[in-house]
Chains A and B, each alone.
Chain A
Amino acid sequence: MKTTILLVGLAVPLIVSAQEADDKFKDFLIDVGPGHVSAGDMLKLTDSAITTIEAPKDFVALLNGLDSSDKSGGFGFAITPARTSLTPLSIDSYRSNNLARLWGGTTFSYAKNRNPLGGVEYKQDALAVNVSYYLHDKDDPHVAAYDAFANCSPLKQLVVDESNRVMQSLTGVPPEKIQEVLARSKRNPQFLDAASAAAKECARQAASPKWNATQFAFTIGQGWIRPPGAGSPRVTLARTVALSGAYGPSENTLLNYTLRRSDRVLDLDTLTTTQAYKKTNIAAVRLTYGQGDSRDLYGLIEASNVKSSVATLPDSAFKFALGIDKRVMEGVWLEFRLGRRRSVDDGKEETAGLMNLKFSTTTTLPKAQAKL
């Protein structure tokens, strides 16, 4: 047994260095968050290469992306049908029907890029379906935001006042003259500005997420790789099924879990010969304690089934770890982990410590709440 202390990101003279250190830090942690996984994630495409389809005009951008993807680094798209104007799901259906909420959280994604291997550029593509769902509708950020809007008293008062103002201008006006008078009286830009500000403020207040909302996410995806040249056969790059979730048993605690199975994971060294495939099964669980209302101190304990003998699993991930995340000042977090992992050098188990100084408003810990 040996012990290693890794100090990652403590000396960070440049923001770029801090970012690199942060990425390295994440390599050591099993991702147990119930977050969104897309085809772009499978091919490690940057978010900027992904087109989110919401309206017909987005298809134009999509077609342009298809055309340019042969020349550039990659492209992808993600579509949540219920949130598009193509097959819209109303917010009223979304908040009142659990099946509608499930459909509203279903995203289809596709990505393609090129991967240079041994001087040859291989084409890769991937498809994924992700479903995320909040167990309690009130925890769903979209429902919470709409409920806040529906109960927004300042907005309602502005609407009542504006209606009364228009009504006053129409007092005693005969039916055939109403449109003429209305055309003058309804010009009131101050109303829309004030109403918009009131609606925004109500939404802002609702945006304080419940940090340990109970939710789950399911993802299924597959990637392929194809050698250059017409007629080259496409072979499977990987096939993944993942179930992850979050459970908040009390106000201060959050239990995250994830089960991820990947099979037909291609060993890229065998791409030009007889392809060899591997498979992995990852199970991980993390208990997080968040202290106080301001949540500037988190403690965690996590365990996974990462085995020291299986080379296909993340080489450096902890199989067991304790950790603390402390906000030392606004926008700066100190993150510390101590646990057992497989040595990168000889594959044997070792105790390792990690410390990271992160310049961010949030910790590396996965947040329970998805963004709006």
Chain B
Amino acid sequence: MQIKLHNVSGGVFTTSGPQVDFELADAGQANVTIHVALSDGTHFHFPDGSSSGTAQSTVLPPGDYTCVVLVAAFGHGSFGRSYKSTVAIGGKKAASATGSLPAGTDAETDTQAFVLRVS
């Protein structure tokens, strides 16, 4: 698994605040967990019981925040082995991971990070 970053330039993803929406979603068949952590201590997690793609939001004063994105896919007891995960911030795609768990592998994960600049 490899997480790709989108709209990140020089390690920075820019969005406007103070209210910032985070949309974590997966359209695959494997059991996938997506986690976004911000350096101010805010965490967003998928699945959270709501339907995939439901936006969660937080209020962020202007500034730079380190943002860590973790995606993990599991095959045990799952509907299938594919994953198609996305993280969108402020309506813009920030990270994605697409693929399938290889045969003989029950779990895969990757982590990415960038600076979230809130204007």
Name A's B-contacting residues (CB within 8 A): 54-55, 83-85, 88-94, 96, 104, 142, 145-146, 148-151, 155-156, 159-160, 162-164, 166-167, 170-171, 173-179, 182, 186, 191-192, 195-196, 199-200, 203-204, 206-207, 372
CB of A91 within 8 A of CB of B106, answer: no
* CB contacts between A and B, total, < 8 Å: 145
Cβ of B15 within 8 Å of any chain A Cβ, yes or no, is: no
Segment from B55-63, B68-76, B86-94 that makes contact with A = B68-76
- CB-defined interface of B99-119 with A at 8 Å, one 1/0 digit per residue? 010000011111111110000
19 A-B contacts (beta carbon < 8 Å): A88-B82, A89-B79, A91-B28, A91-B30, A91-B80, A94-B79, A96-B51, A142-B79, A145-B79, A146-B79, A160-B45, A162-B70, A167-B39, A170-B68, A178-B113, A192-B108, A200-B106, A204-B77, A207-B77
Cβ of B37 within 8 Å of any chain A Cβ, yes or no, is: yes
B17 to chain A: closest CB distance in Å?
18
Q: Chain B: interface residue count, which band?
A: 35 or more
Name B's A-contacting residues (CB within 8 A): 10-12, 26-31, 33, 35, 37, 39, 43, 45, 47-49, 51-52, 64, 66, 68, 70, 72, 74, 76-82, 84, 100, 106-115
Which single residue of chain B is at the shortest CB-CB distance from A207?
Answer: B77
A203 to chain B: closest CB distance in Å?
3
Please measure, in the bound complex, the distance between the C-alpha atom of A316 and the C-alpha atom of B60, giving whole angstroms. Answer: 75
Please, which residues of chain B bring their CB within 8 A of the CB of A159? Answer: 33, 35, 45, 70, 72
Please measure, in the bound complex, the distance between the C-alpha atom of A207 and the C-alpha atom of B106, giving whole angstroms. Answer: 17
Most chain A CB atoms below 10 A, which of B12, B27, B79 = B79
Please measure, in the bound complex, the distance between the C-alpha atom of A173 and the C-alpha atom of B68, giving whole angstroms. Answer: 13
Interface residue from A92, A96, A182 paired with B113 (Cβ < 8 Å): A182
CB of B80 within 8 A of CB of A167, answer: no
CB of A175 within 8 A of CB of B43, answer: no
CB of A203 within 8 A of CB of B76, answer: yes
Known contacts A89-B29, A159-B72, A178-B113, A145 near B35 by CB under 8 Å: no
Please, which residues of chain A bring their CB within 8 A of the CB of B114? Answer: 175, 178
CB of B47 within 8 A of CB of A90, answer: no
Please measure, in the bound complex, the distance between the C-alpha atom of A327 and the C-alpha atom of B82, giving whole angstroms. Answer: 40
A120 to chain B: closest CB distance in Å?
42
Please, which residues of chain B bring their CB within 8 A of the CB of A179? Answer: 11, 113
Please measure, in the bound complex, the distance between the C-alpha atom of A83 and the C-alpha atom of B81, giving whole angstroms. Answer: 9
CB of B29 within 8 A of CB of A163, answer: no
Please measure, in the bound complex, the distance between the C-alpha atom of A84 and the C-alpha atom of B82, giving whole angstroms. Answer: 9
Please, which residues of chain A bring their CB within 8 A of the CB of B107? Answer: 192, 195-196, 199
A181 to chain B: closest CB distance in Å?
8
The list of the 8 closest CB pairs from A to B, nearest first, reads A203-B77, A175-B11, A196-B107, A92-B52, A150-B47, A163-B37, A145-B77, A91-B79
